[in-house]
Amino acid sequence: MLPTVSPLKINASSNKKLAFLLLILVCASIILLVVGFLYLTLKEKQFSPESMTKDINSKALTFKKAVSTERIKDTLVKVNDTKLSPEERYKQLTNIYFYFSAAYSTTHDSTIRDYVNNDLNEFAKKNFSNQYQSGDFEIPCADPICGHALDPEVKEVLSIITESKLPEDVRSVTLKNLTTSGYIPEKDQALFGYGLVLMDLDQAALPVASTAASILRKYVKSKYNTKL
């Protein structure tokens, strides 16, 4: 005679199997949700052309007094044009770098440098890996956040040049180079910049330029123990 199995035991066994299957389904669903969330998060972090275009346009508007927003918009169209070769699109992206770099040299705003060296650099590296070279999207330090605050002697020379009657082109270039040099933390780069300023002042051959040059030379000698 065959042994009999209680209906209660059969139901209990079936319930355990069902509960186990449900547990597997719940776990699988959770895993899929986590994977999906991570994928979307990583995808969001990847600088897509669409998101980066909006980001660049937004950043350009922030510095619209120093950056030509229309020029950047026109250049971005070419960056995103897949009909162009990757080399040409990358070249257009480097043009955007130069627009921001020029704005930085005028404003010495550290946020421009941070944006280019981090966001724009990362976008170029991920989307143009074959064309990208380290340093293509790097702006050297020339602001008081990453470098030096302007010393009193530099401010004095800047004031003299600003109030002088030097030719406009000479005054503009000299002020720009002197301000940049005053912020630069690297000695050799700063000295190179000061050398350019002194060359322009010497060539001006005006009393006010000589006064400014004399103060600047004394400052350089005192600060760097170097004669220019």
Are 166 and 219 within one domain?
Answer: yes
In this predicted model, what pLDDT tens digit does every residue of 73-118 receive, in sequence order? 889 889 989 899 999 999 999 999 999 999 999 899 999 999 999 9
pTM listed for this prediction: 0.72
Are 39 and 54 within one domain?
Answer: no
Q: What is the pLDDT of residue 29?
A: 56
The residue among 57 and 37 whose pLDDT is bigger is 57
138 belongs to a structural domain: no
The model's confidence at residue 37, banded by pLDDT at 50, 70 and 90, is very low
The residue among 50 and 209 whose pLDDT is bigger is 209
Are 156 and 218 within one domain?
Answer: yes
194 belongs to a structural domain: yes
Residue keyed to tokens 């004095």: 156
The model's confidence at residue 18, banded by pLDDT at 50, 70 and 90, is low
136 belongs to a structural domain: no
The model's confidence at residue 190, banded by pLDDT at 50, 70 and 90, is very high
Split into its structural domains, the chain has a count of 3
Are 196 and 210 within one domain?
Answer: yes
Which structural domain, as residue segments, surrounds residue 95? 49-127
Choose among 85, 175, 100: nearest CA to 139. Answer: 100
72 belongs to a structural domain: yes
135 belongs to a structural domain: no
At a CB cut-off of 8 Å and minimum separation 6, what does 49 contact?
79, 80, 127
